[in-house]
Amino acid sequence: MGCSEFFTVHWDQIVQRVFSTGEAERTEYEVELPTGKQIHEARCVPEFDADGSVKTVLIVARHITALKQAEAALRKSEAQLRAIFENAPIAIGLASVETHQFVQWNAAHHDQFGYTDAEIVTKRIEDVTHPDDVGEDLQHVQRLLAGEISRFQMEKRYIRKDGEIIWCNLTAALIRDSEGYPLYLMGMSTNITERKRSESERKQTERNLLIVQEQLFITQERLQHLLSSIPAIVYSATPGESPTLTFISTNITLSLGYESQECLEPEFCLNVIHPDDIPAFRAGRAELFRQGYAACEYRFRHKDGSYRWLYDQIKLVRDETGTPLELIGSWVDISDRKAAEEQIFRTNQQLALTNAELARATRLKDEFLANMSHELRTPLNSILGLSEVMQEEVFGSLTPKQRQFLATIQDSGNHLLELINDILDLAKIEAGMLEIQRAETSIYDLCEASLALIRQQAHQKCVPFL
């Protein structure tokens, strides 16, 4: 029959035990056949006679090779599933459908939540879930139990034993029996805290970047408005001896007629600076490289062909090693100032000529007054001298009327002499050489002297005196 020697030796023992005990026995044995090894199951069942003793033993055998192979495969599959469950890198837990209390878990579950076996068995799903996520989680569970969905996935927050809140990606489903009855809630969760933190940081970075971009845009708009509004033309250039502009504010179009792009051509500056001012331009550049800053004035050709005066202020930008990187400067149109300076220069020249003429006229006037006083004093002194002699009656006696006339001549001559002295005093006043002497004056005598001067003219015009 192909039975093994071991089974043949013990076969009688099995039968004898059945006879002696009266109890059925089961045994398995292997049979070697040309087609391969087979496994059989034999059941030894006692048959009793009327007095209750074992009369015969009925042996029933059946072929169970396929069954044993299925059992072995099942055990292997269960072992593999157990190994996968225990060694899975993600946290896996089974919970009661009714109470949501944990009933089984793997090592990753321990590591993720920090609870011991004795602690986790007392916890429900709700106990380790963040309060803000419990509602959504339970809604999904209810849909699972209602058969609306077969599984669900969500990102939720858990609370570890130490109180740390972690983000996990949860995938949940129902474990059912062969009849489809739900036995357990199974959840598989992956810790995504770092990813969520990175996402939060990335979103915050994006928000910050957006804010910076908005601020940069606003700053650029402000700068553009400022550069367009200020009268100065702002520029940057390469630091060579013949610089090439790398940037220029758009208000150059309004000031000098050029478009910004035209000004960025090589040798643009040297081509539009007045040839006579090129030495001054190069001297300014030499000073710039010596001191780090410079200022100069030169004529700049407008696009319409006319020349405008510009005041150029420049700063040299260097790196930490001192190597020149860039020139930053500004042009201010000073044509009006230059025209005003030219007008002031011409006016000053005219004033100088006028002052010279005035000085000459003053000198001639002084000479005239000096000559006039000399020419007037000589005959006046003669008149005054003769009138005094006649009043002394050297040439004969005088009538009262003659005395009166001689007195008038004497007074008028003296008054004329005082006028001459006053004219000379006026010249002294202009020269700043007059000394003022204060003294008491008789108003009556002053009036009498004034009347004596005009009495003869009044008599001729028949103007009576009171």
Question: What rounded mean pLDDT belongs to the chain?
Answer: 83
Q: Which of 108-112, 127-131, 400-404, 433-437 has the highest mean pLDDT?
A: 127-131
pLDDT of residue 228: 64
1 pLDDT higher than 50: no
Taking only the tens place, the pLDDT of each residue in 116-154 is: 989 999 999 999 999 999 999 999 999 999 989 999 999
Q: What is the pLDDT of residues 339-363, one digit of tens each?
A: 999 999 999 999 999 888 888 887 7
Phi-psi region of 54 (alpha: psi -120 to 50; beta: other; left: phi over 0): beta
pLDDT at residue 453, as a whole number = 66
For the chain, what is the total number of helices (H) and then of strands (E)? 13, 13
Residue 271 neighbours by CB distance under 10 Å:
9
The pLDDT of 29-48, averaged and rounded, is: 82
**Per-residue pLDDT at 293 exceeds 80:** yes
For strands 25-33 and 324-333, give the pairing: unpaired
Closest by alpha carbon to 288, among 316, 260, 256, 313? 316
**Separation CA 236–CA 258 (nearest Å):** 16
455 and 412 Cβ atoms separated by less than 8 Å: no
Condensed to tens digits (0 to 9), the pLDDT of residues 197-222 reads 998 889 999 999 988 888 887 777 77
Please give the pLDDT value at position 403: 79
Task: Give the residue-averaged pLDDT of 167-172.
Answer: 94
pLDDT digits (tens, 9 = 90+) for 368-404: 766 766 666 677 777 777 777 777 777 778 788 877 8
Asked if residue 2 has pLDDT above 60, the reply is no
Backbone angles phi, psi at 142, to 5 degrees: -60, -35
Rg (CA), the chain: 66
Residues found in the chain: 466
* pLDDT band, very low/low/confident/very high, at 447 (cuts 50, 70, 90): confident
Which domains are assigned to the chain?
5-72 (3.30.450.20), 88-191 (3.30.450.20), 230-333 (3.30.450.20), 360-460 (no CATH)
Render pLDDT for 55-94 as a digit per residue (tens, 0 to 9): 888 888 888 878 877 777 777 776 676 766 677 788 988 9
Q: By percentage, how much of the chain surpasses pLDDT 90?
A: 28
- Tokens (6 digits) for 244: 């090439």
The pTM (predicted TM-score) of the whole model is: 0.43
pLDDT, residue 229, reads 64
Please indicate whether residue 273 or residue 8 has the higher confidence score (pLDDT). 273
Residue 249's pLDDT band (cuts 50, 70, 90) = confident
Stretch 404-432: mean pLDDT, rounded?
74
